[in-house]
Amino acid sequence: MRTQVVIVGAGPSGLLLGQLLHKAGIDNVIVERQSADYVLGRIRAGVLEQVAVDVLDEAGVGQRMHAEGLPHEGFDLLFKGARHRIDLAGLTGGRKALVYGQTEVTRDLMAARAASGQTTVYEAAHVAIHGFDGAHPHVTYEKNGQTLRIDADFIAGCDGFHGVCRASVPGSAITEYEKVYPFGWLGLLSDTPPVHEELIYVNSPRGFALCSMRSRTRSRYYLQVPLSDTVDSWSDQAFWDELRRRLDPAAAETLVTGPSIEKSIAPLRSFVSEPMRFGRLLLAGDAAHIVPPTGAKGLNLAATDVKYLADALIEHFRERSDTGIDGYSERCLKRIWRAERFSWWFTSLMHRFPGEGEIAQKFQEAELDYLIHSEAGARTIAENYVGLPLDFGLRRA
Ligand code: RFL
Ligand code: PHB
């Protein structure tokens, strides 16, 4: 088989890239290791920045997102037992966040993919990439006992942190920066009304907690837990009891509990690999970088990488110009490092770090107190949370 761009991975990055390229008349094939149901079953992001909303609109998949997504103009910070609102819209000239789950984004993208008629191969085994440092890149995989090959002009590595694309680049050509945090997030999804109409980020002596949602009837909650904990060691009852202990009295009282639909533990990591382009291989999304979820930046960064990549590929095929491809890494990395710094800082401010003692809690509370009482402080959080504009890096910011 031959195509213009072969995309490895059918997560949000791969599906969104496929759709933007298809709309521009560029032929592409997606090769995914898992089944479509497996991809949809992973419960991940919940918050979209305006730029991600704009890119999804451009891809033509925004209809349900606008009808069902919940616009949020603020969120609460809870510390020393009291809640304080960060007025995102008031502090950023009207910008807001949209609560719309990654599962729904993926479902919308899969529907558009099916309608586009472009090929998607699910359950492809032993995916391997070849020849990206020369003029004839290609991808091989196994399916139904056969080895198949796809030739293309470019390979887009959208295969997440554990994918094959970044791992295929020689170590001498890549620099990796990494910080692994000494705790995880235990997430619980339930068909219960959210405890509050906006998100609550909690700094508690017992550890971080987050109250989020997927809709007005479906809640998503997280607890900071030691990495040694397993999902099986947390009954639903134990989860709800611990969440209540980390909340303020009013929220603890109004919290509606119910059976979990999904429970999982995610490790927290900051990771960037540089550069993001190796000849005819271009990485995008979690394949190139990971942020701890505290700042809600991962999916948003994936969306902006993909927008820049689609623009660069369209320029290549339409105008025979490689200016966009040559500048791709640098353009992405500028906003990636800004989001990495914010996510690391917000994680450090909100979590208990083993061995750091009570003084660390006092420092965090003093900083939070400063942030909410200083307009400059509150604006710093708000600006970072709503995210950078798409043309960041092309102009002063
Ligand atoms: P994905 O979603 O990991 O998709 C990669 C796809 O590639 C496939 N794959 C392969 N396919 C073929 N061959 C191989 N060898 C392959 N190896 C892997 C995989 O099966 C998969 O389908 O990466 P992508 O598309 O770059 O998307 C990134 C986002 O998923 C991620 O950044 C976000 O989920 C991060 N994130 C959040 N981001 C936000 O912007 N806002 C949030 O509120 C937010 N909350 C979160 C999050 C991530 C979390 N977890 C579990 C890590 C909350 C959590 C708990
Ligand atoms: C989520 O709803 O899954 C979510 C929301 C905000 C975050 C992280 C995760 O910062």
Pick the catalytic residue: 22, 293, 328, 351?
293
Is residue 104 within 8 Å of 395, Cβ to Cβ? no
For the chain of 397 residues, list the mean pLDDT of each consecutive stretch of 10. Answer: 98 98 98 97 92 97 98 98 97 96 97 97 98 96 97 98 98 97 98 98 98 97 98 98 98 98 97 98 98 97 98 97 97 96 98 96 98 96 93 58
- Ligand 1 mean position, distance from CA 104 (Å): 14
Ligand 2: residues within 6 Å at CB? 45-47, 199, 210, 212, 220, 293-294, 296
Pocket probe for ligand 2: among 210, 263, 299, the residue whose CB has the most ligand atoms within 8 Å is: 210
Is residue 214 within 8 Å of 70, Cβ to Cβ? no
Distance of alpha carbon 36 from alpha carbon 31, whole angstroms: 11
Pocket probe for ligand 2: among 42, 104, 199, the residue whose CB has the most ligand atoms within 8 Å is: 199
Does 72 qualify as catalytic in the annotation? yes
Does 385 qualify as catalytic in the annotation? yes
pTM of the model: 0.97
Task: Output the pLDDT for position 393.
Answer: 61
Task: Output the pLDDT for position 388.
Answer: 86
Residue identifier of the C-alpha nearest atom 6 of ligand 2: 296
Task: Output the pLDDT for position 392.
Answer: 76
Task: Output the pLDDT for position 391.
Answer: 81
